[in-house]
Amino acid sequence: MSDMNTYEFGHHGGVLASRETRNRTLRNTYALLALSMLPTALGAWVGIQFGFSFFAGSPFIGFMAFMAIAFGFFWGIERTKNSGMGVVLLLAFTFFMGLMLSRMLGMALGMQNGAQLIGTAALGTGGIFFGLASYASVTKRDFSNMGKFLFVGVMVLLFASLANIFLQLPALSLTISALAVGIFSLYLLFDLKRIMDGGETNYITATLSVYLDLYNIFVNLLHLLMAFTGNSRD
């Protein structure tokens, strides 16, 4: 007979996953997340070596193509999340995201202190992750009500980014990045807490969510650092 002490009840009366399931999901998520950094780094290296630029022609068309490819991956990962193919698609997606990251990394490396800026952004992202993961593991607060608010925030960022393709306003770009760091940090807390509380028991889906949070935090931190502390080689 199951030990009922290993189960918890949600705020609406539903039984959440067992403690063993939650711990296994969290371990597998962290392991796959660490693995996903390898194809991301490989994709970034390949992109830098071959001068990959998705937005070289038309930024708008590039943006729409990127969204189409990304959502295609999301659909495929969701469809195969209960099989090994889900892991393959997730790692392929992270390679693609590394390619997308290569243009910004190339721009950063073109600065005198570029390597330092990239390292600082990586350390900052890591610090945010470990800080929020530690907080999520000890807090009893329920963050489930943040989901709709955060989704709206991401939609606002998305439309603002799309608008700025045409407006090309540096101040708006920096504002978007600053808001993105805050919103995706909250999303990271939301996703980690959801995994720890048993609201998400599929480690592939969980990894995808946390990966996207960290990716967006890193990209926008690096953008801010490049804007405010980057030193041109001129």
Torsion, CA 210, CA 211, CA 216, CA 217, rounded to 10: 60
List pLDDT tens digits, range 21-62: 889 999 999 999 999 999 999 999 999 998 887 666 678 888
Between 10-24, 41-55, 139-153, 212-226, the lowest mean confidence (pLDDT) is in 10-24
d(CA 88, CA 85): 5
Give the other-Cβ count within 10 Å of 68's Cβ: 10
Of 89, 63, 69, 94, which Cα lies nearest the Cα of 78? 89
Residue 215: closest CA among 81, 77, 93 = 93
Confidence band (pLDDT; 50, 70, 90) for 1? very low
d(CA 113, CA 224): 14
Mean pLDDT of 11-22: 63
d(CA 177, CA 115): 20
In the predicted model, what is the mean pLDDT of the chain? 89
For residues 210-216, average pLDDT: 97
Average pLDDT over residues 90-115: 94
| Per-residue confidence band for 8, with pLDDT thresholds at 50, 70 and 90 | very low
Q: Which residues, in sequence order, are CB contacts of 43 under 8 Å at separation 6+? A: 94, 95, 96, 97, 98, 99, 100, 101, 102
pLDDT at 225: 96
* pLDDT for position 53: 77
* CA 114 – CA 118 distance, rounded (Å): 6
Per-residue pLDDT of 158-210, as tens digits, reads 999 999 988 889 999 999 999 999 999 999 999 999 999 988 999 999 999 99
Q: Higher pLDDT residue, 56 or 108? A: 108
The mean pLDDT of 64-73, rounded to a whole number, is 93
- The pLDDT, as a whole number, for residue 91 is 98
To which residue do tokens 């530690």 refer? 134
Q: Output the pLDDT for position 124.
A: 97
Q: The tokens of 177 are what?
A: 């990045």
